[in-house]
Amino acid sequence: MNRMTGAKWLLIFGCTIPLACAPTVSPAQKTANTSSASIQQGIKLVETGHCKEALPVLTRGLPHVSDKSLRYRAQMATVRCAMAIDQEKIAADTLIALANESPDDPEVLYIETHFFSEMGMRAARRLTQRSPDSYQAKRLQAEALESDGKNEQAAAIYHDILRAHPNVSGIHYHLGQIALAEAGPNGSTDAAKAEFEKETQVDPSNASAEFVIGELDRRGGDFAGAARHFARATKLDVGFSEAYLALGMSLAASGNFAEAKAPLQSYVKMEPGDPAGHYQLAVAYARTGDKPAAEREMALQRQAAAHHGVTDNAQGHSVQ
């Protein structure tokens, strides 16, 4: 009788030598298996409050975990644990990765909200504790008062900052916003405009200040002045979509429909879902004799308006 080889015995009768029958496992797979086991251990440590022991385990194992469900659980555990023991960089890096991988997950968004709020509060406490007399600490105090509607107290602190540090950017902008709030819908905006102009002198790159000055000019009927400021805002910040719309509207209001088309075209590319942009561009096309383009923009305007539930009859009118 022919003698059977070991390989045939294994095939016919099954494995009698465990090591000989074990499937071949690549080094990468071994690493992944080991990492998964350690990650599971790390998650259990977090659940029992052993964050100091868990965090090194989780941070070492996470880069090697490919299973989405396990990776998600491990990332969540890492963020919670890192925040609990003041490891803010680990928490931030892990949360950013988690947000990139699960951008619309409600729990991720909830944790993001609380995490960054907590980070802000911690930084504010450190600032006020370690540098209470710095202009940054005073500015933080003034901004908090301003957000609470305590404009007079906030303005006093802003002025105090400017006396010691006249070239700090952003302070005149805040004073301008306070002056606008104090003026109300019918009051004079001269004081506010003066503050925004001072801001552009301190910080010539402040596109927001340029925009507000332009808006104040537009409200006052100075469309040429408004267009200059809006144009400057678009150059300072090429992604400032509202400035392109305001520039186009100001040019159109002064009768420069041909010039208005370019900024309005830029705006509808940036904000294709806004009915106002398509309407204003349709008007500019119509007034320059491009009827097909005007009709196309009005069709896009109606689509956008329907999507947003806009019922304003003025938005639905045809253009001449």
Q: Which residue has the higher pLDDT, 107 or 13?
A: 107
Fold identical between 31-128 and 218-320? yes
What is the pLDDT, as a whole number, of residue 320? 54
Please, what sign has the CA dihedral across residues 174, 242, 207, 247? negative
As a whole number of angstroms, the distance between CA 212 and CA 215 comes to 5
Q: Where residue 7 falls among pLDDT bands split at 50, 70, 90?
A: very low
3-class secondary-structure state, position 104: coil
**pTM recorded for the entire structure:** 0.76
Q: Where are the alpha helices (DSSP H) in 131-150?
A: 135-147
User: pLDDT tens across 163-200, in order?
Assistant: 999 999 999 999 999 999 999 988 999 999 999 999 99
User: Looking at the predicted structure, is the pLDDT value of residue 13 above 90?
Assistant: no
User: Looking at the predicted structure, is the pLDDT value of residue 123 above 70?
Assistant: yes
As a whole number of angstroms, the distance between CA 266 and CA 277 comes to 10
| CB distance 143 to 154 below 8 Å | yes
User: Looking at the predicted structure, is the pLDDT value of residue 289 above 80?
Assistant: yes
User: Looking at the predicted structure, is the pLDDT value of residue 22 above 50?
Assistant: no
What is the pLDDT, as a whole number, of residue 10? 29
Mean pLDDT, residues 239-263: 97
For the ranges 12-26, 132-146, 294-308, the maximum mean pLDDT occurs at 132-146
| CB distance 39 to 65 below 8 Å | yes
Mean pLDDT, residues 54-78: 91
What is the pLDDT, as a whole number, of residue 209? 98
Residue ranges per domain, the chain? 31-128, 144-204, 218-320
As a whole number of angstroms, the distance between CA 191 and CA 288 comes to 39
> Please, what CATH class does the domain formed by 31-128 belong to?
mainly alpha
What is the pLDDT, as a whole number, of residue 35? 72
User: pLDDT tens across 39-50, in order?
Assistant: 999 899 888 888
Mean pLDDT, residues 96-110: 93
As a whole number of angstroms, the distance between CA 318 and CA 299 comes to 10
CATH superfamily assigned to domain 218-320: Tetratricopeptide repeat domain (1.25.40.10)
What is the pLDDT, as a whole number, of residue 155? 98
Mean pLDDT, residues 303-307: 89
What is the pLDDT, as a whole number, of residue 36? 82
Q: Where residue 319 falls among pLDDT bands split at 50, 70, 90?
A: low
